[in-house]
Amino acid sequence: MPASISVIGTGYLGATHAACMAELGHDVIAYDVDATKIAALADGVLPFFEPGLEELLRRHTASGRLRFTTSVAELAERADVHFICVGTPQRADGLAADTSHVEAALLALVPHLTRSSLVVGKSTVPVGTAARLNQLAQESAAPGVTVEVAWNPEFLREGHAVRDTLAPDRVVLGVSSPEAEKVLRFVYDSFVVDEVPVLVTDLATAELVKSAANAFLATKITFANVMAELCDATGADVVTLADALGFDQRIGRRFLGAGIGFGGGCLPKDVRALMASAGELGVDNLFGFLREVDAANTRRRHVVVEAAVAQCGGTLVGARVACLGAAFKPGTDDVRDSPALDVAARLQHLGAHPVVYDPKANGTGARAFPALTFVDTVDEAVQGADLVMLLTEWPELVALDPRGLLNRVGSPRILDGRNALDPESWRNAGWIYQACGRP
């Protein structure tokens, strides 16, 4: 028998969760305050790019297992398990995460509940939030209605969201009662039996697993980037170094990619939120190194811009720079805290004329940075360029033919901000090739 599930918030996380729960066979109703978005989703149109997701959306809006609404009362009426998937962006007034959307979602839903229900948070929140929401749920529930709050953090990566949701590395269930565990095990039953590890924890541990995972990944990337700076100072090669480190099974090669650093809607804000949360708990001395991770990550953007200045003979004034890539990473049109666009904007401030091309993120990029020039093809971007910069390692950009581009550019100079290109083939084709932390 399927579970009746509601999903509150239809961004990258919520839309993916809703479609994947329908794919697992459940009856799903998804809610958002944004009526335009809900109308598009109900028509099977995904308002952002995520490989494979629109197909699932279409399949399950057609099958009737996935419905959309702008009525919270309808969620309460139809579903027994309610997943909160709204955003927790960085607060405008500091480093902490803004949990007001999560709280608002809970407070909007709970008074409508007329039978015992489980509310499951998936958003990334500071430790202690779930316990506080549990208390709020008790206070706002109608008399005689039992509402429990559980926490089930989501580890999906943009660009791989469907796969990460349907075949996760692990499932973490933060619960306060055996009943909540039973309900969640039932929801995830079809892949639990496929031997995905399930860890049942208290609420605080579940919240912290997510913050810790993202802080660890950010630290790992930054370690590679700091080594890249050391390699620049010594003539060593950070890619070979990372390969050699990666063969050590205790370390592993993934997330040792040096370049212009991490961005996106999660890693940067989660690192800061963890520091802020430690400060609020009176243990801010624990995370001095995360301050350095954050600073070193921002420094990467500066270092790459400095390299561009050097490549262009000491000044960028009047230089035409082809910026290949705008998304914060390949496989998405998300430009939140995108290192690529930050670099392009910095080039512009220094007097250059950056021309940006991204296979999927031109639209989102132009909305976030209206002063930058976006073009529809690589050819237009590189036309007459004094410097070409690879800023997001989309496969189609990594596969570019260096010989084919030669007669379009003004000067055959390329700066590989992601260490993704093959230096030899570019040099052999006649380019001056420079990467990050490579001789």
CB of 328 to ligand UDX, least distance (A): 4
# of chain residues touching ligand UDX (CB under 6 A): 20
C-alpha 248/C-alpha 261 separation (Å) is 23
CB of 184 to ligand UDX, least distance (A): 18
Among 81, 171, 227, 267, which residue sits at the site for ligand UDX (rule: CB under 6 A)? 267
From residue 9 to residue 48, what is the string marking binding to ligand UDX with x (rule CB under 6 A)?
A: ----------------------------------------
Among 102, 137, 173, 256, which residue sits at the site for ligand UDX (rule: CB under 6 A)? 256
CB of 97 to ligand UDX, least distance (A): 13
Binding of residue 266 to ligand UDX (CB under 6 A): yes
CB of 419 to ligand UDX, least distance (A): 9
Within 13 Å of residue 182, how many CA atoms lie on the same side as its CB? 4
* CB of 256 or CB of 405, closer to ligand UDX: 256
C-alpha 315/C-alpha 350 separation (Å) is 8
CB of 164 to ligand UDX, least distance (A): 7
Binding of residue 361 to ligand UDX (CB under 6 A): no
Scan for tokens 């963890």, then name that residue: 274
Question: Would you put residue 408 in left (φ > 0), alpha (ψ -120 to 50) or beta?
Answer: alpha
Segment near ligand UDX (CB under 6 A); pick from 36-44, 110-118, 249-257, 377-385? 249-257
What tokens appear for 126 in the block?
A: 């500071």
Which residue's C-beta sits nearest to ligand UDX? 257
CB of 281 to ligand UDX, least distance (A): 23
- Binders of ligand UDX among residues 320 to 359 (CB under 6 A) are 328-329
Cβ count within 10 A of residue 436: 26
- Kindly provide the residue ranges of all beta strands, DSSP E only, lying in 180-336, ordered along the sequence: 198-201, 320-324
> Across the strands, what pairs with 117?
147
Among 31, 48, 188, 262, which residue sits at the site for ligand UDX (rule: CB under 6 A)? 262
CB of 431 to ligand UDX, least distance (A): 23
Segment near ligand UDX (CB under 6 A); pick from 263-271, 360-368, 379-387, 409-417? 263-271
What tokens appear for 286 in the block?
A: 């624990």
The 10 Å CB-count burial string (b at 16+, else e) for 391-414 is: bbbbeebbebebeebeebbebbbb
- Binders of ligand UDX among residues 139 to 178 (CB under 6 A) are 154-158
* CB of 182 or CB of 302, closer to ligand UDX: 302
C-alpha 47/C-alpha 30 separation (Å) is 15
Q: Give Cα 242 distance to the centre of its chain.
A: 23
Among 9, 121, 126, 264, which residue sits at the site for ligand UDX (rule: CB under 6 A)? 264
CB of 88 to ligand UDX, least distance (A): 12
Scan for tokens 């490579």, then name that residue: 438
- Binders of ligand UDX among residues 281 to 320 (CB under 6 A) are none
C-alpha 131/C-alpha 191 separation (Å) is 28
Residues 6 or more apart from 76 whose CB is under 8 A from it?
A: 109, 112, 113, 114, 117
What is the set of active-site residues? 266
- Binders of ligand UDX among residues 181 to 220 (CB under 6 A) are 214, 217
- Binders of ligand UDX among residues 378 to 397 (CB under 6 A) are none
Among 174, 263, 354, 359, which residue sits at the site for ligand UDX (rule: CB under 6 A)? 263
- Which CA distances in Å does 66 have to 7, 26, 34? 10, 9, 17
Collapsed DSSP state (helix, strand, coil) of residue 231: helix
Give, in degrees to the nearest 5, the angle at Cα 21 between 15 and 25. Answer: 140
> Across the strands, what pairs with 90?
97
* CB of 172 or CB of 321, closer to ligand UDX: 172
C-alpha 391/C-alpha 326 separation (Å) is 7
Among 14, 121, 259, 359, which residue sits at the site for ligand UDX (rule: CB under 6 A)? 259
* CB of 31 or CB of 394, closer to ligand UDX: 394
CA dihedral 201, 205, 211, 215 (to 10 degrees): -100
- Which residues are at the interface with ligand UDX (CB under 6 A)? 154-158, 214, 217, 221, 255-257, 259, 261-264, 266-267, 328-329
